[in-house]
Structure 1
Amino acid sequence: MSELVYVDISKNALTGFDGPKDAIQTSPLEMLDISSNTFQDPFPLLPNSTRFFSASDNRFSGEIPTTICGLVSLDTLLLSNNRFIGSIPRCFKSFNTKLSLLHLRNNNLSGKFPEESISVGLISLDVSGNQLSGELPRSLINCTRLEFLNVEDNMFNDTFPSWLSLLPDLQTLLLSNNRFIGSIPRCFKSFNTKLSLLHLRNNNLSGKFPEESISVGLISLDVSGNQLSGAYVTDNKQERFMGFSFSNYHKSVVLAIKGSEMELLGSGFRMYKTIDVSGNRLEGDIPQSIGLLKGLIVLNMSNNAFTGHIPTSLSNLTNLQSLDLSENRLSGNIPPELGKLSFLALMNFSNNMLEGPIPLGTQIQSQNSSSFAENPGLCGAPLEETCGGGEEVYEVIKEENDQVLSWIAVAIAYVPGVFCGLTIGHILTLYKPEWFMRIFHSFA
């Protein structure tokens, strides 16, 4: 089959290629997709003509073969969700400058991320879910076409790489679950207006939450320290090749959606717009500018040290479905305007220093009382504490009312008695004055 250039045998139960290791090496293949099977070693020798190779979701083990680096036409290499060990090959840069998509997600790769592994043509790089350590390679600064960078779930130990903000096309930066230190940089808004996803979850970040990091282009900001849950997101950029339409971006993004776990797949899946800065040591006021992000669906700022009042600008987030401000040091009232957010299905204000009545509204009143717990000054439904003093005030008022009723009863009984007594006394003084004097002296 000398004209066969495109083969897609993904999502089956195939275990390997029949024949020797080089069984397909002489074929004219340019695009080969064997993902989502049960392929095992040996790793196949690929044709020199290969441009696209996807072997994700299989059972390949051992080290990533360096023979891949000899594929001078290779543009896309997807080896995620296998059992590869060892370090990332150092040859990607020196042997292949055309490589634009390199995804090695969820393997057992370890060691430092070598500078020599960075191809200057990279557009999408995903090495998340491994055991990589050390610093991020500074050679990434040369990848001027880089749009997507995911190094989550590793052991990188570095100061926050603010220099990445100089990459002109960077749209997605995922650094969660590592050991990055320092504060959230202020440079993303001013240096890079294209950045839309910034995930820094579960690191050692500290300091205030900078107002300057909130840009109207930022649709997902995640620096949470909670248990992971979320969705796999794939955009719909397509590449036309030999009459076939093939999605060339396989971007995996972890999001916290309403506190539940979900896995969503699909090339046309809409990206959730979220901000999650939970589980850090952020302090100061919650930025009013968050209210500018009108499309926001999830906002989680729990388990930090935020102080001040809940900004009323949150009422502008008319699409908001989940709001978690628990375990901070917030004070003041819950803004009544939040009661108008009709899509707000899940909220949590517990473990703060809030006070005053809980706003009325169908969505707020339907919450469990635990969503408002450990705020000694809060009152009103769904809490049992009634606003204005609660049951104690009610008992005082009831007792006072009972006393008033008692005095009224006495008055009702006393007035006729006095009237009758005066009437009888008047009659006695007129007709029998001696009887009146005897009665008067007997009482005296």
Structure 2
Amino acid sequence: MVFKKTMFLLLLQHMVLTFGHPSSGDYNHSLLTDKTALLEFRNTIVSDPNSVLTNWDEAVDVCNFTCVICDRRGHRVVKLSLNGTNIGGLLSPFISNLTGLRILRLSDNHLFGLIPSEFGFLRRLHKVWLNGNNLQGLIPETLSLLSHLTFINLSGNKLTGVIPASIFSNCTSLLFVDFSNNKLTGEIPPDVGHPPGIWCLNLFDNHLSGKLPVSLSNSSMLLALDVESNRLSGELPSEIVVKLPDLLYLHLSYNYMVSHDNNTNIEPFFTALTNCTDLVELELAGMGLGGILPGIIGQLATSLSTLHLESNRIFGSIPPNLANLSNLMLLNLSTNLLSGTIAGEIGQLENLEYLLLSNNSLTGTIPTKLGQITSMGLLDLSKNSLSGEIPASLGNITRLNYLFLDNNQLSGEIPRSIGQCKDLHKLDLSYNLLTGRIPQEISGLNEIRIFLNLSHNRLQGPLPIELSKLESVQEIDLSSNNLTGSIFPQLSNYVAVKLINLSHNSLQGQLPESLGELRNLESLDVSTNSLSGEIPITLNKCPSLTHLNLSFNDFNGSIPSGGIFNLVTNASFFGNPHLYSNALKEYFPLRKMKCSANRCRK
């Protein structure tokens, strides 16, 4: 089969060199032929919202067509650049009549259909961009006839089938190849490393299987290799990366690769990586890699800025010499089996912007020295077994946007210094053992736009009215604490809020009528408190409200009607012995519901 394909390609190449395109006539195409080809292409375009093809007309010199460039003598069209013009229509085979074309840019449009096999006649083509369209079908094997091709980008389409091996064996001038974000299957061609000068290979987000071809070890000029989100298998490619000293970007995440020694040893791979002395990004996430996080990780290139090792089965402690990676900006070790303490040396990574250590078994206290990383925007230490107090030094990280310390065993009071992190968008301290009052300084976090979650702690005291200044918050959850006092009417300041949960506290007084002003409120839960008075009828004016739980309080009077009150069930009001239902003509009993997974009953 391989012999037949090779003979076919050689025969087709002979036809191109000897006779030219079968329908094109003489080898020396005229500029008139180029113009005809472009006009035929225009006729297949059904959408041109930006009117870029308006002057593509018989009466206009083809060299003056928008997005068309001719050679210096004006004899041939050498460049067609319609990228990002939003044109839509069939990718026409008439383009193949532009046999003088050197650059073809049709990316980020709405072109559909197949990549024409006739493109194999564009034998002077050096660069082609077809990415970001709706192209389907196979990658034509005739593209391997483009012997001058240096740059090819077919990413972001719906291409299927295998990658033609002949593209890499015949197009030896290739420098850049991007077939990512398609639906390609089969194995990566064994000759993928044959072009000696290739420096970028992007094959991510496909359905490719098999092992990484050993021929990649011949690609000594390779700078970027991205094959993540495929179905590749085999051991981590130590024998390949050790021969790629100039490698800058290595993305292998979300495949089926394993570490050495039956997925128990990742040290040989990291040892091989120390030969990549300019490495910038390393991504090995989501593969279930097993083994101890080796100390040699601290000997990787100091140029390393991104390290993804999340969602594996890496165990042991975090080596303190990670601090040697002085240019690290992102460190993600979350969702592993790591144990031990967080070394204070991590605080020396002064360029770190994202630190994710969540969902491990880390113990001990949060290092005070983390407060030295003032450039950090995200700190996620959630879902561990960390204890002790939250360091006040975290307030020094004034650029912090996201702070997740939930699901630990942290104790003590919430440090007032957190109020200095005025750029926080999300703050989650839930499911800890925090005590004391909610500090008034949290009101300074007026950039909190997503959520504030202090639930499931041991916080006490009244709700600080200063919380009403968080006007942009979308979710606020203070449930399951020991909060007392009343709910302040200034809750109506939460103009963007979608969820309010104050349940399982000891709040008293009336529910403010001002809650009816919250136009975006979707969920309100104040159950299991000691609230009293009548239920505000204004709640029926909340157009987005779909969940309401007022159960187990001391509300009295009758349940209002209209709006949310016509949507919820009686379960929203149980445990209010003085609350009367006009519809049922009865009071609600002071007893809990028996609930299964799917329904509740008395």
Question: What's 1:308 paired with?
Answer: 485
- Matched residue type, 2:452: I
Structure 2 CA distance for aligned equivalents of residues 342 and 388 of structure 1: 30
- Matched residue type, 2:347: I
Say which SS state the counterpart of residue 202 (structure 1) adopts.
coil
Residue among 29, 32, 51 paired with 2:225:
32
Residue 331 of structure 1 and its aligned partner are, at CA, apart by 2.2
- Matched residue type, 2:525: N
Say yes or no: does 1:6 pair with 2:200: yes
Structure 1 CA distance for aligned equivalents of residues 490 and 250 of structure 2: 48
Say yes or no: does 1:362 pair with 2:540: yes
Question: What's 1:296 paired with?
Answer: 473
Question: What's 2:519 paired with?
Answer: 342
Q: How does 1:42-121 map to 2 (within 5 A)?
A: 42-44=235-237, 45-46=240-241, 47-61=244-258, 62=263, 63-64=265-266, 65-66=269-270, 67-118=272-323, 119-121=325-327
Structure 2 CA distance for aligned equivalents of residues 378 and 143 of structure 1: 58
Residue 316 of structure 1 and its aligned partner are, at CA, apart by 1.5
Say yes or no: does 1:163 pair with 2:369: yes
Residue 69 of structure 1 and its aligned partner are, at CA, apart by 2.6
Question: What's 2:506 paired with?
Answer: 329
Distance 1:29 1:160, change over 3 A: same
Structure 2 CA distance for aligned equivalents of residues 337 and 128 of structure 1: 42
Distance 1:355 1:121, change over 3 A: same
Retained in 2: the 8 A contact 1:224–1:276?
A: yes
Structure 2 CA distance for aligned equivalents of residues 147 and 348 of structure 1: 36
Structure 2 CA distance for aligned equivalents of residues 304 and 75 of structure 1: 45
- Matched residue type, 1:32: L
Gaps of 5+ in 1: 227-270, 393-444
CA offsets per residue over residues 27-81 of structure 1, 9 Å max, x none? 4211111110011122222211111111111112223322123211111111110
Distance 1:278 1:105, change over 3 A: same
* More contact order relative to length (CA 8 Å, sep ≥ 6): 1
CA offsets per residue over residues 179-218 of structure 1, 9 Å max, x none? 11234444444x2221111101111123444554234311
Q: How does 1:23-422 map to 2 (within 5 A)?
A: 23-44=216-237, 45-46=240-241, 47-61=244-258, 62=263, 63-64=265-266, 65-66=269-270, 67-118=272-323, 119-189=325-395, 191-214=396-419, 215-225=421-431, 273-359=450-536, 360-362=538-540, 371-377=549-555, 380-381=559-560, 382=565
Retained in 2: the 8 A contact 1:309–1:331?
A: yes
- The two structures, once aligned, show a CA RMSD in angstroms of 2.9
Runs of 4+ in 1 over 6 A off after TM superposition: none
After superposing the two structures, state which structure 1 stretch, 176-185 or 50-59, moved more: 176-185
Aligned residues: 346
Structure 2 CA distance for aligned equivalents of residues 391 and 26 of structure 1: 79
- Matched residue type, 1:88: L
Structure 2 CA distance for aligned equivalents of residues 376 and 60 of structure 1: 59
CA offsets per residue over residues 76-102 of structure 1, 9 Å max, x none? 111110111112222232342111111
CA offsets per residue over residues 272-293 of structure 1, 9 Å max, x none? 6211222233333334333333
Residue 371 of structure 1 and its aligned partner are, at CA, apart by 0.8
CA offsets per residue over residues 334-366 of structure 1, 9 Å max, x none? 232222110011121111222222332336698
CA offsets per residue over residues 313-347 of structure 1, 9 Å max, x none? 43222111111111222222223222211001112
TM-score by length of structure 1 reads 0.71
- Matched residue type, 1:140: I
Say which SS state the counterpart of residue 74 (structure 1) adopts.
coil
Structure 2 CA distance for aligned equivalents of residues 73 and 312 of structure 1: 58
Say which SS state the counterpart of residue 332 (structure 1) adopts.
strand
Question: What's 1:262 paired with?
Answer: none
Say which SS state the counterpart of residue 338 (structure 1) adopts.
helix
Structure 2 CA distance for aligned equivalents of residues 369 and 72 of structure 1: 56
Retained in 2: the 8 A contact 1:315–1:338?
A: yes
Residue 106 of structure 1 and its aligned partner are, at CA, apart by 0.5
Retained in 1: the 8 A contact 2:520–2:544?
A: no
Structure 2 CA distance for aligned equivalents of residues 184 and 297 of structure 1: 25
Say which SS state the counterpart of residue 110 (structure 1) adopts.
strand
Retained in 1: the 8 A contact 2:354–2:376?
A: yes
- Matched residue type, 1:30: L
Residue 390 of structure 1 and its aligned partner are, at CA, apart by 5.4
Retained in 2: the 8 A contact 1:216–1:293?
A: no
- Matched residue type, 1:206: S
Say which SS state the counterpart of residue 350 (structure 2) adopts.
coil
- Matched residue type, 2:221: P
Question: What's 1:231 paired with?
Answer: none
Residue 301 of structure 1 and its aligned partner are, at CA, apart by 1.9
Structure 2 CA distance for aligned equivalents of residues 12 and 308 of structure 1: 57
CA offsets per residue over residues 231-262 of structure 1, 9 Å max, x none? xxxxxxxxxxxxxxxxxxxxxxxxxxxxxxxx
Say which SS state the counterpart of residue 201 (structure 2) adopts.
strand
Distance 1:75 1:391, change over 3 A: closer
Distance 1:167 1:208, change over 3 A: same
Retained in 2: the 8 A contact 1:54–1:79?
A: yes
Residue 132 of structure 1 and its aligned partner are, at CA, apart by 0.6
Distance 1:281 1:183, change over 3 A: farther
- Matched residue type, 2:287: N
- Matched residue type, 1:34: V
Question: What's 2:38 paired with?
Answer: none
- Matched residue type, 2:357: V
Structure 2 CA distance for aligned equivalents of residues 208 and 285 of structure 1: 15
Distance 1:365 1:326, change over 3 A: farther
Retained in 2: the 8 A contact 1:157–1:179?
A: yes
Distance 1:110 1:16, change over 3 A: same
Retained in 1: the 8 A contact 2:523–2:546?
A: no
Retained in 1: the 8 A contact 2:475–2:500?
A: yes
